[in-house]
């Protein structure tokens, strides 16, 4: 029987999944997602080999949470590949803490340690672990592999890993972790494969989606990140605030009478592009709107990206390449154009035609800094790690 690796990325309102062949260089057979959990759940799938698309509405009375969505996904696997077996199930786990510098097979000890990290990522970790529990219940004999968004950044120098707080807090884990590491790892592999010279140099990767961050790499190693202790820090995102003076939180508690749960909800779900525009978290909607508030939200988004690009360039002592990835980074040419506008002082110049066509290289032939648009694939890197870990 053929062996496969199933990858899962369980969130609060959606679950992404993909099925790969079990081989050193995994090949995608299917990928898809369940969206709209708690409202109007919809399952969509696309075959990686023949282009077949499947979309179906799910029962909102029964598919109410990630666990129910996962059971639907497991049923589809059994239905479409009845003669196949799973070699492993790979999970995206947002937080690996200090100790996890690479993927890990999930046993009771590992799972217990990951549960203790839930306060560090309260809106992500519990859902990731719910996915693990559902997979263990459905496939008790199949190895479960955790792949961590924080692991890629564990090579940070100390100065980018700490806050200027009492030292004992650092020892308790209050430090900068960085996130989106699976995406960054995939982009670095692609650069190493297709542009090894730039891979070895100073690279800033901008992962721009509903969650957004930037990281600085040299030789494929992370040396700086805009995200810190939590997935709130750095760039403004779809519904998350990005960088925030901690005094604002103290003010909200003291003067506005808000408790921790209210503040958490505001910073994670009601801020960012959605909060600034009062309209939507979706960049496509904002670009099409043209309202003053939508344009101001975009202006702030661009400003923060350009500001962090300068900071990351300083960390690297110069810039050799800039990579855009993520839903906005890969598709919104207007955002890339505005980010790169008037950066000739940095040796960076876009080619208008290439950029508007979202080609692989969108910089001009005169540009000293090469600008790439590279679609990221977190599911592939999870499958790759799961296969490699099983082979020792």
Two tokens, residue 369: 């800094």
280-288 CB contacts, 8 Å cutoff, 24+ apart:
281/210, 281/237, 281/238, 281/239, 282/238, 283/327, 283/328, 283/332, 283/335, 284/332, 287/332, 287/334
* 220 vs 53 pLDDT, higher one: 220
DSSP letter for each residue of 221-254: EEEEES--SSTTSSS--SS---S--HHHHHHHHH
Q: Does the residue 110 lie in any domain?
A: yes
Residues 110 and 206 in one domain: no
Residues 138 and 200 in one domain: no
Cα–Cα distance, 132 to 112 (Å, whole number): 12
Among the listed residues 328, 329, 325, 363, the one whose alpha carbon sits nearest the alpha carbon of residue 346: 363
Query: Which pLDDT tens digit goes with each residue over 302-322?
Result: 999 999 999 999 999 999 999
Query: Which pLDDT tens digit goes with each residue over 102-159?
Result: 999 999 999 999 999 999 999 899 999 999 999 999 999 999 999 999 999 998 999 9
Structural domain ending residue among the three candidates 108, 125, 148:
148
Residues 206 and 328 in one domain: yes
Residues 200 and 96 in one domain: no
Number of structural domains found in the chain: 2
Query: Which pLDDT tens digit goes with each residue over 157-194?
Result: 999 999 999 999 999 999 999 999 999 999 999 999 99
Among the listed residues 49, 54, 72, the one whose alpha carbon sits nearest the alpha carbon of residue 62: 72
Cα–Cα distance, 349 to 324 (Å, whole number): 14
What local confidence, expressed as pLDDT, does residue 2 receive? 59
Averaged pLDDT score across all residues of the chain: 94
Q: Does the residue 24 lie in any domain?
A: yes
Name the range with the highest mean pLDDT among 22-36, 61-75, 125-139.
125-139
Could you say which of 149, 233, 320, 377 is catalytic? Answer: 149
Q: Does the residue 51 lie in any domain?
A: yes
Share of the chain above pLDDT 90, in %: 83
Q: Does the residue 351 lie in any domain?
A: yes
Structural domain ending residue among the three candidates 130, 148, 166:
148
Is it the case that residue 1 has pLDDT exceeding 50?
no
Q: Does the residue 181 lie in any domain?
A: no
Q: What is the mean pLDDT of the segment spanning 59-65?
A: 88
Share of the chain above pLDDT 70, in %: 98
Q: Which domain holds residue 75?
A: 3-148
Residues 328 and 255 in one domain: yes
Q: Does the residue 166 lie in any domain?
A: no
> Is residue 228 within 8 Å of residue 178, measured between CB atoms?
yes
Residues 26 and 105 in one domain: yes
Residues 33 and 122 in one domain: yes
Residues 32 and 139 in one domain: yes
3-state secondary structure of 164: coil
Please tell me the pTM assigned to this model: 0.95
Is it the case that residue 101 has pLDDT exceeding 90?
yes
Is it the case that residue 47 has pLDDT exceeding 90?
no
Residues 137 and 209 in one domain: no
Residues 213 and 324 in one domain: yes
Cα–Cα distance, 140 to 157 (Å, whole number): 40
59 given a catalytic annotation: no
What local confidence, expressed as pLDDT, does residue 275 receive? 98
- Number of Cβ within a 10 Å radius of residue 270: 14
Residues 141 and 214 in one domain: no
Among the listed residues 218, 224, 212, 209, the one whose alpha carbon sits nearest the alpha carbon of residue 178: 224
Q: Does the residue 325 lie in any domain?
A: yes
pLDDT band (50, 70, 90) for residue 388? very high
Q: What angle do CA 274, 280, 286 make, to 5 degrees?
A: 105
Residues 231 and 135 in one domain: no
CATH number of 105's domain: 3.30.420.40
Query: Which pLDDT tens digit goes with each residue over 214-273?
Result: 999 999 999 999 999 999 999 999 999 999 999 999 999 999 999 999 999 999 999 999
What local confidence, expressed as pLDDT, does residue 80 receive? 72
Structural domain ending residue among the three candidates 148, 179, 213:
148
Q: Does the residue 171 lie in any domain?
A: no
What local confidence, expressed as pLDDT, does residue 81 receive? 67
Residue holding tokens 């100390």? 158
Cα–Cα distance, 178 to 260 (Å, whole number): 23
Is it the case that residue 83 has pLDDT exceeding 70?
no
């Amino acid at each position: 029987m053929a062996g496969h690796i199933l990858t899962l990325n369980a969130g609060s309102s959606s679950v992404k999944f993909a099925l790969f062949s079990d081989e050193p260089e995994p090949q995608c057979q299917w990928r898809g997602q369940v969206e709209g959990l708690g409202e109007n759940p919809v399952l969509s799938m696309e075959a990686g080999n023949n282009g077949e698309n499947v979309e179906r509405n799910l029962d909102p009375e029964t598919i109410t949470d990630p666990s129910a969505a996962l059971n639907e996904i497991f049923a589809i696997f059994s239905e479409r590949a009845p003669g196949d077996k799973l070699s492993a199930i790979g999970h995206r786990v947002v937080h690996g803490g200090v100790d996890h510098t690479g993927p890990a097979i999930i046993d009771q000890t590992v799972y217990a340690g990951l549960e203790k990290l839930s306060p560090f990522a309260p809106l992500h970790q519990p859902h990731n672990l719910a996915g693990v529990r559902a997979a263990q219940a459905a496939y008790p004999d199949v190895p479960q592999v955790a792949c961590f968004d924080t692991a890629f950044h564990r090579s940070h120098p100390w100065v980018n890993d700490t806050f200027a707080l009492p030292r004992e807090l650092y020892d308790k884990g209050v430090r900068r972790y960085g996130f989106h590491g699976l995406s960054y790892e995939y982009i670095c592999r692609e650069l190493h494969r297709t542009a090894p010279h730039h891979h070895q140099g100073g690279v800033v990767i901008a992962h721009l989606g509903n969650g957004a961050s930037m990281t600085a790499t040299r030789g494929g190693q992370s040396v700086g990140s805009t995200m810190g202790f939590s997935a709130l820090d750095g760039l403004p995102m779809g519904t998350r605030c990005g960088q925030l003076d901690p005094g604002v939180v103290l003010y909200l508690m003291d003067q506005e009478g808000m408790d921790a749960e209210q503040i958490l909800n505001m910073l994670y779900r009601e801020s960012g592009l959605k909060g600034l525009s009062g309209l939507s978290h979706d960049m496509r909607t904002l670009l099409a709107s043209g309202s003053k508030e939508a344009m101001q939200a975009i202006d702030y988004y661009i400003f923060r990206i350009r500001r962090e690009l300068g900071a990351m360039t300083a960390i690297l002592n110069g810039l050799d390449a800039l990579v855009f990835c993520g839903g906005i980074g890969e598709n919104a040419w207007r955002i890339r154009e505005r980010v790169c506008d008037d950066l000739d002082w940095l040796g960076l110049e876009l080619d208008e035609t290439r950029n508007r066509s979202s080609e692989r290289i969108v910089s001009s032939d005169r540009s000293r800094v090469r600008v790439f648009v590279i679609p990221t694939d977190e599911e592939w890197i999870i499958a790759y790690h799961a296969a490699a870990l099983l082979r020792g």
